[in-house]
Amino acid sequence: MSENSFKVIAEDSLQPKSFSFSSDNLVKAKNIIKMYPSNYKESSIMPLLSIAQNQNNGWVPKKAIEYISDLINVPEIKVLELATFYSMYNLSPVGKFHIEVCTTSPCMLRGSDSMLNLCKKKLGIGIGQVTNDKLFSLGKVECLGACVNAPVVKINENYFEDINSQSLDQLINNFKDNKKIKIGPQSERKGSEPRK
């Protein structure tokens, strides 16, 4: 696997001994499975993987893959295929706040490289690494699909758009200090309307 080491299955020492859905999540999972016809049960793999990821601090352990394959009776490799294909799933431990910087062309033109460098410098970590306090981790992703608000970073499940070095710096500070944060465009824009 190239640059994104969160897509590499974590070492055995980091893997939990067992995994199963909490009772709330099991109810959720069962409702999801019910949505799909019995011959298309593979379709429920993706939502189940995200439930597992949310339950397990933002990453999917091996045991979760095996648990899901068992739950819907699908070969393990089919679950692993999806977990490795989509960039949303992490296969090794991430920080409490997982920062993903979009580096595809539009974002790059709008300065994503300097955003990435800022993150690296400020957090003292490289791509695919986690800070010592386990608070932040940094990843580089391909197009997040919000080019009109480039440059974009994704922190956990939220997008932070129209960022610049100042606002990104502030954003990371706010996360660190547990302060209130503004989701979405960090500029004067509300959405993707034309700039004034």
Partner 1 sequence: MPKIFINDKVVEVDDGITVLQACEISGIEIPRFCYHERLSIAGNCRMCLVEMENSTKPVASCAMPVAEGMKIKTDSEMVVKARKGVMEFLLINHPLDCPICDQGGECDLQDQAMAYGKGLSRFVENKRAVKDKHLGPLIKTHMTRCIHCTRCIRFSEEVSGNNQLGTIGRGEDTEITSYLEKTIDSELSGNVIDLCPVGALTSKPYAFVARPWELKKTNSIDVFDAVGSNIRLDSKGDKILRVLPRINENINEEWISDKTRFAYDGLNHQRIDRYYTRNNDGKISECSEDTAVNILKSKFTDPKKNKIFSLCGNLIDCESIFSLKLFLEKIGLKNYDCRQDNSFFIPNKRSSYIFNSSISGIDESDLCVIIGSDIRKEAPIIGARLRKKSLDKTGDYNVVRIGYQYDLSIDALELGKSFSSLTNLQNSKYTKLLKKSKKPIFIIGQGPLCSSEGENIFNFVLNLHNRIVKDPNWNGLNILQNYSGRVGALDLEFYNKKNIQKNNIEDIYKGKYETLYLFGADELEFDKIPKKTFIIYHGHHGDKAASRADLIIPMPCFTEKEGIYVNLEGRAQISRQVKMPIANVEHSSIFFSKLASSLGFQNDYSDLGSLREIMFSRYPILSKINQFKSEKSLKPSAFSKKFSKNVIISNIPNFYMTDSVSRNSPTMSSCSLQINENQNKL
Residues in contact with partner 1 by CB under 8 A are 1-2, 7, 9, 62, 75-78, 80-81, 84-85
Give the CA distances from residue 178 to residues 160, 165, 173, in Å, rounded to whole numbers and listed in that order: 16, 20, 8
* Closest separation in Å from C-beta 189 to partner 1: 32
Place of tokens 């095996």: 66
* Closest separation in Å from C-beta 66 to partner 1: 9
Pick 24 or 76: Cβ nearer partner 1: 76
Q: How far is CA 156 from the centre of its chain?
A: 5
| CA neighbor of 162 nearest in space, from 99, 104, 107, 119 | 107
Pick 1 or 109: Cβ nearer partner 1: 1
Q: What are phi and psi of 13, to 5 degrees?
A: -65, -25
Pick 84 or 170: Cβ nearer partner 1: 84
Cα dihedral 10, 14, 19, 23 sign: negative
* Closest separation in Å from C-beta 3 to partner 1: 10
* Closest separation in Å from C-beta 86 to partner 1: 8
Q: Are 139 and 99 in contact (CB under 8 A)?
A: yes
